[in-house]
Amino acid sequence: MKARTPPLPIPEGHRYWTVEHEQRGLHYFRHPYYGVGAQLSVYLTSGYISAEEGEVLSLQEQFAAVLPRAGALLGLCWYDPNQVLTTPTPTGTLTPVLLAEYGNAVAEELQDAGYTMLDLSELFSLASDGFQQRQSLISQASARADFSAAPKESSTSS
């Protein structure tokens, strides 16, 4: 991670959001192009944690499975005005293997910058909500369907 000079301006718009991490402060994110978001979304939800039937994974094992996904989401959405990630963003088709490699590299970069496992887990959880709102067709359709103008007059009057 290195300092941005000059700092990025933070535009207004649906593509951008912020989250407040209790220990690490305000973080800025930008939703990637929808095609990249679709590939990331599939990666985030497929093969999440595998365990034999009845086996309960330890918290450490669960986090090990989540870490590359957390790094991938945080890296592809990172838009900090003052700090830039130095991990190169992958291009082309984002296969699960490529996303895992990228996610691990981003997580390592954030670890080098002082983020703990708990920080990464919490930040992933916070940022995931904003990502899903912007990527989910269901959320977008639901938001559109819930909006309607107030009726001009009562529907029961004749």
Averaged pLDDT in 10-residue chunks for the chain of 158 residues: 92 92 94 93 74 65 86 97 95 92 97 94 94 76 56 53
Burial class (CB in 10 A: 0-12, 13-18, 19+), 152: exposed
pLDDT of residue 140: 54
pLDDT of residue 37: 93
pLDDT of residue 156: 53
Contact of 71 with 44, CB cutoff 8 Å = no
Contact of 62 with 124, CB cutoff 8 Å = no
pTM of the model: 0.81
pLDDT of residue 12: 87
